[in-house]
Chain A
């Protein structure tokens, strides 16, 4: 009886004391402009890229390290209807109430000519922004074959950064944080190889990742 009381008290207070469990949900809200037949089709292409990436992330990061793999076993994508958030503060509050959300993805699909479509993604990192200076990482990319790899890598880059910061938040050993940052650094190199020097929020994210890496290495060169 005594233990049941303790458990109930724990459950009641857990949101307030910040129960340190890994965040496992990548929350994707339907992008604005993705309701028409054509743009819905584009959004599905985009969704497919993200889903494939997440399903292979565990193996890419941890290879066959079964013990480490268990850590990422539950990571998943949850789709939500188009959001009604009017301000970033609303998003922040929503994330605070959803302890399992690693990052929240919302955005817009736009086209000027109904031929070329652009996907504008806003990644909300919540408490995991850490070294990144803003609440939101903005990534804009056209939906076309030449940007497929960058779309894939830039979105997985943000997820890898969030995973690294979540491992840090959980007080994980440095070698675990390093595993995520290793993959993130590789993704950065790939995007830069294709597109040259990074611009906008991706450049700021690069700085955040390098800073996190340097701190981990004890001030050395982490890139």
Chain B
């Protein structure tokens, strides 16, 4: 059971939604459902992840506030993306993304496995700035080529918490509430409903159970974990904040200890943010494909960058350069042919661009 003192209601944080960019995409809803695992530890870990996300989008020095972070009430049926999709798309929740996890108890500590699930609700938004579309003039008229984002399901590198690290996560009474941000005395515990007043890197001023005080937030990792950076990058990208997305995915890529799939997709997202921001993502797409030459998703982006290249030369009336780009597209199509279904319409349309 969840400890009584932990919040039990879904908290919709009325975070202000002002983006510094001019993008019209609506704010996103990020669900942090109950974690699976031994309690109270798993729920304390969940609360820590929740506060990490709150800080990522609401800290006083953070300019972007493009997400509402939801504290999920219902327990997950199992630790699976499918179970999370069911919980996140429930009518009263309607989350676009979910950051969730499981705490595995070992004799020498705890392993926290964090995951990110993007829900199908993202595709129902009126404005979808993340879609990549390139139009080309062809003999058959103007043709439009589109690519959606590369993935919806992500697993992060497990966080290892040794015995010493988990001491603070095992208090069955819940997280303590202090009278001051630093120092002071304990005046209570985290209650069921929270109202946020100030959010800082090291603590959050809240009102809960009729008391106003500070919760001292603890990170699960030494620095911002790749789960938080990646999720932040996703929200930024999905809202059309290209510069913010570039920063977040670059930060993820600086971490040498991330899963290969996450690295490949971070490169793709970084390249996509570059393309959408008016630059080229070709270098990132090539690097992603270079990490795994059977990766069809990376191949998609590599090929699309060739189409974008042709479109650029076409707009500039550089015929010779355009022909060379077509040859490069032909070579990449040949190299990636086995990754696509023979009837893949997107691939066939690209192949038709090659004279």
The residues of A that contact B292 with a CB separation of less than 8 Å are: 182, 185-186, 189, 223
Q: Does B107 contact A (CB under 8 A)?
A: yes
Interface size range on A against B: 35 or more
Q: A52-B102, A59-B82, A189-B260 are in contact. Are A182 and B160 (CB under 8 A)?
A: no
Q: A52-B79, A56-B81, A178-B339 are in contact. Are A45 and B294 (CB under 8 A)?
A: no
Binary CB contact string for chain B from 91 to 119 against chain A (1 if under 8 A, 0 otherwise):
00000000000101111111101010000
Interface segment out of the listed B49-57, B137-145, B150-158, B183-191: B150-158
Binary CB contact string for chain A from 26 to 70 against chain B (1 if under 8 A, 0 otherwise):
000000000000000000010011001001100110011000000
Task: Give CA–CA (A185, B296) in the complex, Å.
Answer: 13
Q: B105 touching A45 by the CB < 8 A rule?
A: yes
Q: Does A138 contact B (CB under 8 A)?
A: no
B227: min CB distance to chain A, Å: 14
The residues of A that contact B82 with a CB separation of less than 8 Å are: 55, 59
A195: min CB distance to chain B, Å: 12
Total contacts A-B at CB 8 Å: 112
Main secondary structure of the interface of B (DSSP, over half): mixed
Q: B338 touching A216 by the CB < 8 A rule?
A: yes
Q: Does A146 contact B (CB under 8 A)?
A: yes
Q: B339 touching A149 by the CB < 8 A rule?
A: no
Q: Does B331 contact A (CB under 8 A)?
A: no
Interface size range on B against A: 35 or more
Q: A115-B107, A216-B294 are in contact. Are A145 and B160 (CB under 8 A)?
A: yes
The residues of A that contact B104 with a CB separation of less than 8 Å are: 45, 48-49, 148
B79: min CB distance to chain A, Å: 5
Q: B153 touching A222 by the CB < 8 A rule?
A: no
Q: Does B24 contact A (CB under 8 A)?
A: no
Q: B153 touching A60 by the CB < 8 A rule?
A: yes
Residues of A participating in the B interface, judged by any CB pair closer than 8 Å: 45, 48-49, 52, 55-56, 59-60, 63-64, 115, 117, 143-146, 148-149, 152, 173-175, 178-179, 181-183, 185-187, 189-190, 193, 213, 216-218, 220-223
List 17 contacting pairs A-B, 8 Å CB cutoff, sorted by A: A55-B78, A63-B153, A144-B106, A145-B109, A146-B160, A148-B113, A173-B342, A174-B339, A175-B339, A178-B338, A182-B296, A186-B260, A186-B261, A186-B292, A189-B260, A217-B338, A221-B293
